[in-house]
Structure 1
Amino acid sequence: MRGIPIRSLAAAVTIGVLALSGCGTQTAGAPVGPGGSGDDRTIRARQVMRLTQVHEETGMTLLEGPVFDEDGRLLVVDVTAPAGEAKVLRVNVRKKTSEQLHTDARGTYTSAQFSPYDGRIYLTDFSHGDIVSLAPDGGDPRTFFSGEVDGSRMNPDDLAFDREGNLYLSDSRGMSEGESRGRVVRIDRAGKKATVLADGLASPNGISFDADYRGLWFSELTRNRISYLLLDGGGEAASRHTAVRVDGGVARTDSIAVDADGNLYQGLHGRPAMAVYDKYGERLATVEVPARAARGLESATNVAITPGGTRAYMTVSGPGGGYLFAFEALAEGTRQSNGG
């Protein structure tokens, strides 16, 4: 979810101008993937299918939060889908078919993830500050969390679960009179206790645990940087530092996924591409949509890497519609590269 000042985002959704914001191959002479080397590596993604078109009512489509279910079907949220149209889609990537899994009259859903605690699908409702859960078949909607955290309502964007099922959220509040107001928030798995782990952030967006669950990577949309938040044994913040400064030009940092080797896949809003870094901040590769397929596409928001495999599916959107593109990741997928 990205693009315009947070204080006017809800209104923008209402009037339909929300501006959030064979598989991989490689450029000749630029080795890519495990064991690859070289300073200018480009992974070329290939188009799998178009999932959505621009909605007449909202004037946009924006795909986000890809996550595989236990049957290998890919769930994707459409942030700008109006009431009655698919807000959560279920995709058979092999057959290249999709169906509506969930819709409602209210939600602006920006991410999806399965809880390791109860197996339900959790969705972040950016506009209303709620966390909603669904049964795996898309039914039985419940409000898991609603209300203020430390006196302020959230704009929850992305989420990650720890092994016990507690939620960690990027609260993508923007600027107010020059003050950065975004936060990283932890909600216990019962939905009863919310704790601010970091504040003073500039529209935090992507969030994911590292490969060892020792800490969280999170990006800030309006500062083009990725930070690392080390956690203590109780899920509280121990330390925080800027880890990567992303040279995005006009593009900005969107969602984050982490593979089994700890590599970071940083989505870009404003360019149909992803930047890939190792855990020490070295730029390993750029995942690109080929120019001939990129017309009408503006952002590569997020990615899901097949659990236990390396096939990756990237959500790409723009005036040309909402698409899935596929590429070969540098390492296998885990929970941290499947949803959020």
Structure 2
Amino acid sequence: MSRRSVALAAGALVLALAPAGCAAGPAASNDMPAGTAQRVTAERVLKVTSVHEETGMTLLEGPVFLDDGRLHLVDVTAPTGEPKVLAVDVGTREVDAVYTDEVGAYTSAQVSPYDGRLYLTDYAGGRIVSITPDGTDPRVVADGQVKGRAMHLDDLTFDDDGHLYVTDSSPVAYPAGTADGRVLRFDRHTGRPTVLAANLPNPNGISFDLDGGALWVSLLDANRIDRLVLDETGTAVTAGHTAIQVDGGLAQTDSNAVDAAGNLYQGMHGIPEIRVYGPDGTHLTTVSVPDGHQGLLSATNVAIRPGTTDAYVTVSGPAGGFVYRFDALAEGVRQSNGG
């Protein structure tokens, strides 16, 4: 999720950064020189939300296609009583409210391959909540502390067996605190958490690679993407390094997704762009919104409809929350859909 912080205070959500700090391994810059990557302009599909008077903003995240063909989104800063999960028919441009509650600030969404339910990370409440595709039967999957620290959950993904992997952001704003963000795993059978990685500078996006043996984790406060290799059980990291160093300037690395060719689609907070990298770290494409589309500050996340190259981006700012479309470099897979 792209944000400055997410906290409930006096009925408003405030965006905050977490601390920068130590790396998982030696930095290695794989950005190509400026001007060498292809540039693609996305087309606007529709406006989904307007700025909420109560919170002073709107922030769309977590795009995921469900079996009904609609693109489901979360609005991180939606106040009580307004939709926090929405469903968009990208063909008819119709938007339906799916779910709301009184306390959640939901930052990501993905469908479990095990039970077909929609799982949401609640950054403000430190919870994982699941709902049915139609927005009913909410269940708290995980909450409370892990290893003595409250969770600040951001993005999530599933392995093929339905075990849940999530980024746990740094709770103290950079530069005041230390880099203590984490990557957590929750066992599908027991719900038991495992800390896979720690001391990270605000981990945000998380996706498995094509083989399912490693995670791509973007670090908001370091503008880098780490590769974490897992053991055969998926319960421990056997190796990790900085795979891609992103030249973000005023922008920061947000959520990400992977296509059928293994390309990594990296959302940016602070500029409405998606940076696309090959599995070897080569900067292949930059996707941006058209010139003249003012009041847009971030392109937080992308979903590629599985089996197609139809890619949809959540774009937000003072102008509102929008969905844009572009042609992906390869077809969508499960790791392209949500998170």
TM-score of the alignment, normalized to the shorter chain, above 0.5: yes
Q: Is the CA contact 1:12–1:18 (under 8 Å) kept in the aligned structure 2?
A: no
**CA RMSD of the aligned region, Å?**
1.6
Relative distance call for 1:98 and 1:13 in structure 2 (3 A) is farther
In structure 1, distance between residues paired with 2:189 and 2:108: 20
Deviation at residue 327 of structure 1 after TM alignment: 0.1
- Aligned match of 1:278: 278
In structure 2, distance between residues paired with 1:239 and 1:336: 21
Relative distance call for 1:183 and 1:14 in structure 2 (3 A) is farther
Deviation at residue 71 of structure 1 after TM alignment: 1.9
CA-to-aligned-CA distance 1:31-89 (integer Å, 9 cap, x gap):
xxxxxxx9231011000000000001100100000000012111000000001101000
Q: Is the CA contact 2:11–2:54 (under 8 Å) kept in the aligned structure 1?
A: no
| Unmatched 5+ stretches in structure 1 | 22-37
Q: Is the CA contact 2:17–2:221 (under 8 Å) kept in the aligned structure 1?
A: no
CA-to-aligned-CA distance 1:290-311 (integer Å, 9 cap, x gap):
1122x00000000000100001
In structure 2, distance between residues paired with 1:280 and 1:309: 23
CA-to-aligned-CA distance 1:155-182 (integer Å, 9 cap, x gap):
0100000000000000012447541010
One-letter code aligned to 1:144: V
Deviation at residue 101 of structure 1 after TM alignment: 0.3
**1:109 aligns to 2:97 (yes or no):** no
**1:164 aligns to 2:172 (yes or no):** no
**1:74 aligns to 2:45 (yes or no):** no
One-letter code aligned to 1:244: I
In structure 2, distance between residues paired with 1:226 and 1:207: 9
Matches within 5 A, 1:60-71: 60-71=57-68
Deviation at residue 244 of structure 1 after TM alignment: 0.3
Q: Is the CA contact 1:145–1:191 (under 8 Å) kept in the aligned structure 2?
A: no
Deviation at residue 12 of structure 1 after TM alignment: 5.7
SS of aligned partner of 2:82: coil
Q: Is the CA contact 1:75–1:88 (under 8 Å) kept in the aligned structure 2?
A: yes
- Aligned match of 1:118: 115
Matches within 5 A, 1:58-207: 58-175=55-172, 177-190=176-189, 192-207=191-206
- Aligned match of 1:292: 292
- Aligned match of 2:321: 322
CA-to-aligned-CA distance 1:263-310 (integer Å, 9 cap, x gap):
0000000000010000111000100101122x0000000000010000
Q: Is the CA contact 2:182–2:200 (under 8 Å) kept in the aligned structure 1?
A: yes
CA-to-aligned-CA distance 1:7-32 (integer Å, 9 cap, x gap):
xx4256843443679xxxxxxxxxxx
One-letter code aligned to 1:313: Y
One-letter code aligned to 2:285: A
Q: Is the CA contact 1:13–1:58 (under 8 Å) kept in the aligned structure 2?
A: no
Relative distance call for 1:297 and 1:19 in structure 2 (3 A) is farther
- Aligned match of 2:27: none
Number of positions where the alignment pairs a residue of Structure 1 with one of Structure 2 = 320
Q: Which runs of 4+ in 1 moved over 6 A?
A: none
| Unmatched 5+ stretches in structure 2 | 19-34
- Aligned match of 1:226: 225
Q: Is the CA contact 2:2–2:268 (under 8 Å) kept in the aligned structure 1?
A: no
- Aligned match of 1:265: 265
Q: Is the CA contact 1:2–1:20 (under 8 Å) kept in the aligned structure 2?
A: no
- Aligned match of 1:247: 247
Relative distance call for 1:148 and 1:253 in structure 2 (3 A) is same
Q: Percent identity?
A: 57
Quick one: higher RCO (CA 8 Å, sep 6+), 1 or 2? Answer: 2
One-letter code aligned to 1:67: V
One-letter code aligned to 1:169: V
One-letter code aligned to 2:252: R
TM-score normalized with structure 2 length: 0.91
Deviates most, 107-116 or 38-47: 38-47
- Aligned match of 2:303: 304
In structure 2, distance between residues paired with 1:20 and 1:82: 21
**1:48 aligns to 2:55 (yes or no):** no
